[in-house]
A and B are shown apart, each in its own frame.
Chain A
Amino acid sequence: MSFARSNQVHIYGWLLLMPAAIFLIAFTYYPTVATLAHSFFSDGTALRPSVFVGLENYKLMLEDEVFWKVARNNFWFALGTIPVSVALALLMAVWVNGRLPARGLVRMAYFTPTVLPMIAVANIWLFFYTPDIGLVDQVLGMFGAPGHNWLGDPDTVLGCLIVMTVWKESGFFMIFYLAALQSLPPELEEAAKLEGAGRWYFFRRVTFPLLMPTTLFVLINAVINSFKLVDHLFILTKGGPDNASNLLLYYIYEVAFSFFDEAYAATLTVVLLAVLAVIAIGQFVILDKRIHYR
Chain B
Amino acid sequence: MSTIELAGVTKAWGGTVAVDDVSFTVEEGSFVVLLGPSGCGKSTTLRMIAGLETVSAGRVLIAGRDVTDSPPSERNISMVFQSYALFPHLDVAENIVFGLRVRKTPAAERAKRLARVAETVGLSELLGRKAAQLSGGQRQRVALARAIIAENPICLMDEPLSNLDAKLRHDMRGEIRGLQQRLGMTVVYVTHDQSEAMSMADKVILLRDGRVVQAGAPDQLYERPANVFTAGFIGTPPMNLLDLADGPEGAVIVGADGRPVLDGAGEGLKLGIRPEHIEMSDAGGLAAELVWSDYLGADTIVTARIGTQTLMVRVPGRHGTARGTRASLVWAPEAVHVFEAGSGRRVDDRQAIAMAA
Contacts and interface: CB of A to CB of B under 8 A. Distances in A.
A194 B87 contact: no
Given A195-B73, A196-B73, A209-B89, A201 B79 contact: no
B88 A190 contact: no
A103 interface: no
Interface stretch (B95-103, B201-209, B250-258, B314-322): B95-103
Given A190-B52, A294-B132, A195 B102 contact: yes
A256 interface: no
A206 B87 contact: yes
Contacts of B73: 193-197
B83 interface: yes
A202 to B, nearest CB: 9
A9 to B, nearest CB: 36
B130 A191 contact: no
A192 B98 contact: yes
Interface centre among B77, B102, B130, B150 (most CB of A within 10 A): B102
A210 interface: yes
B130 A292 contact: yes
A187 B81 contact: yes
Contacts of B150: 195
Contact of B85 (A190, A197, A205, A292): A190
A192 B86 CA distance: 10
Contacts of B83: 185, 187
Given A190-B52, A191-B79, A294-B132, A196 B85 contact: no
B89 A191 contact: no
B81 A190 contact: yes
B89 A292 contact: yes
Contacts of A185: 83, 85
Interface centre among B83, B87, B146, B150 (most CB of A within 10 A): B87
Given A187-B81, A187-B83, A197 B88 contact: no
B132 A194 contact: no
Contact of A194 (B72, B89, B130): B72
Nearest to B95: A191
Contacts of B52: 190, 193-194
Contacts of B77: 194
Interface in A177-201: 185, 187-188, 190-197, 201
Interface string B195-216: 0000000000000000000000
Nearest to A212: B89
Contacts of A205: 87, 98
Nearest to A191: B85
Contact of B98 (A190, A195, A209, A210): A195
B194 interface: no
B88 A194 contact: no
A193 B72 contact: yes
B103 A196 contact: yes
Contacts of B78: 194
Interface string A197-221: 1000100011001100000000000
A193 B52 CA distance: 9
Interface string B44-76: 000000101000000000000000000111000
A235 to B, nearest CB: 44
A83 B342 CA distance: 70
B343 to A, nearest CB: 39
Nearest to A291: B89
Given A192-B98, A194-B72, A194-B73, A187 B85 contact: yes
A196 B130 contact: no
Nearest to B74: A196
Given A187-B85, A191-B85, A196 B79 contact: no
A237 B71 CA distance: 56
Given A197-B98, A292-B132, 5 more contacts: A194-B78, A195-B98, A195-B150, A205-B98, A294-B88
For the complex of A and B, the 5 pairs showing the least CB-CB separation, nearest first, are A196-B73, A195-B99, A292-B89, A187-B85, A191-B85
15 contacts: A185-B83, A190-B79, A190-B81, A191-B85, A193-B71, A194-B52, A194-B78, A194-B99, A195-B73, A195-B99, A197-B99, A205-B87, A292-B88, A292-B89, A294-B88
